[in-house]
A and B are shown apart, each in its own frame.
Chain A
Amino acid sequence: MARNRVAIVGAGMTKFVRRAQETAKELAWEAASKALESCEMTLADIDAVVIGSAPEAFDGVHMKSEYLSDGCGGWGKPIIRGFVGGGTGVFSAIQGWYHIASGLFDTVLVVCEEKMSSCQPHPQGAFITIFDNITERALGPNLLWIFALEMNAYMTRYGLSKRDIALVAVKNKRNAADHPAALLGDPNITVEDVLNSEVLAWPVQRLDVSPISDGAVAIVMAAEHVARRVTNKPVWVEGVGWNLDTAYWTNRDLSYPTYVEEAARMAYKMAGITEPRKQIHIAEPYDPFDYKELHHLEGLLLFDKGKASEATALGITQRDGDLPVCPSGGLLGVGNPISAAALMKVAELFWQLREEAGARQVPGQPKRGVAQAWGDLMQVGTVIVLGV
């Protein structure tokens, strides 16, 4: 199938914060304006807008994309909102890609916004309804259950300790100390800090989890002929993939994310990647919890099953290691305004591959990176491969 080549040409974001005074619409505008400014474009240059935002229950506003559309520059333009829970941020970039790859548009502004702080007393309340309304919600679940159940299944299958996994939280929170938009960067955090943090739902402790955050991220995508005019450093979308597992989550093997592997295989095939461990230079897997980074690295076929923690302990996933993982600081360090957090990973690859990541810059002139997000009821994988 003939597809037009698509590049990312600009990116911008707000700072990720615990509570923003700005409304969701204002945050969306802040990120969108920064992204346009970064590539010296204006809204008049944009053909279509993709909006990403996760559960509407956070905002208590129905038809959230219509509410957000003015802040996203969507007025008087074709807009679309894709929604796959936590996988939304990467999926929005995928939607931006096929808008252009199909030949329908030359330029697309992708804006992902999340304001979690409005939901009282705690945004977890917005998540309770993802459990089956008849067979599960009566048991009084909270969102941490599914992560705790999955983390325990993963740890037990591969004989991993809490210490093995805590190394991920330490790495990412330290990396985030160099990110100007980060909420929880900490250059001095230790494994002991993570292991001594409050136990929420064992094996999940406070510092195993990313924070509730407000924030927005935007990227500008363009067809090749526009991209070459706009910038001398376009970052190409080389492959995309997404995949959904069954919602009967209690019937699945929770120790391995098969749906991430399927999504990665789809993206790698499109990108012509046959040996991901050699051909991928940076990875930004989804890390709302520390074990998820390991789980997803394995699903992305970058490490053998159960072996990502060993690689972490050896320093392979450090910013100066053989395969830098979450050089941004990830969700654990930069913050987790759901859909915005995942698009932040795409923006991070954009800055890294252009060698514009400042103090976070991965050495060795990386040429190709993969970003991945995950969501719904632990069942969706969304993957994008970028290259220069």
Chain B
Amino acid sequence: MATSLEVRGVSLRFGGVRALTDVSFAIREGELFSIIGPNGAGKTSIVNCISGRYKPTEGQLFYQGRDITGLTPNARATLGIGRTFQNLALFHHMSVLDNIMVGRHHLLKNNFLTGSLYWLTGARKEELEHRRKVEEIIDFLDLQSVRKATAGTLSYGLRKRVELARAMALEPRLILLDEPMAGMNFEEKEDMARYIVDLNEEFGMTVVMIEHDMGVVMDISHRVMVLDFGKKIAEGDPATVLADPHVKRAYLGEEDEVLVDPDDAAPAQESAA
């Protein structure tokens, strides 16, 4: 399988804080790839590096074989990298329809001159054609009843779905989902998991997902990468990663016997020395 995205030795520092240290991984075309790790592990940082919000201090990013390290976020969107945000980032005063239409920005051709002359330049025709595409996305995500609503007035779960719709409207080859299920109830999570699987299988998008719900991650991902303190500690298929002792340590802390009884631990240290 062809490589969709390759991250090569990426480090990210903010002053003295090391958000990411020498992270390398590759995502295959058509894969559903999850990034997990405790809070503050650098998951969102890596997604921000991929989408272009942060420039890595060191290292390079390749998308479909092309070096994208120096590209602006909007140039990356044009190449087909879409994303959603962990904290909702909708256009609050726009309608749901307009929010999704913004996602099609790079697919629309009209500029401010031809757009102003609406009827004469084919801007109207283009709008209507893309409206049809947007309606397909609305259909897929079941947003029909709120398409005219102002995005800022929607409930949390719906906003998350609108955000997914907006990212889909970009027609990305690679879609980055930053905690798509955070704060959702069980049913909303089930729906969202279904949408994500469909994105991957029906729409053929390569999905990178950050998620804390281990059940969902283990169920739907093809491969999982684990970050801890900005370093990659494991990568592989879900079952292998879950069994990895490094991962257990990152999530659960040290093994009980090492921590609980200092008397037991002391001879071990002596023998090690």
Is B truly associated with A? no
Chain B residues engaging chain A, CB cutoff 8 angstroms: none
Chain A residues engaging chain B, CB cutoff 8 angstroms: none
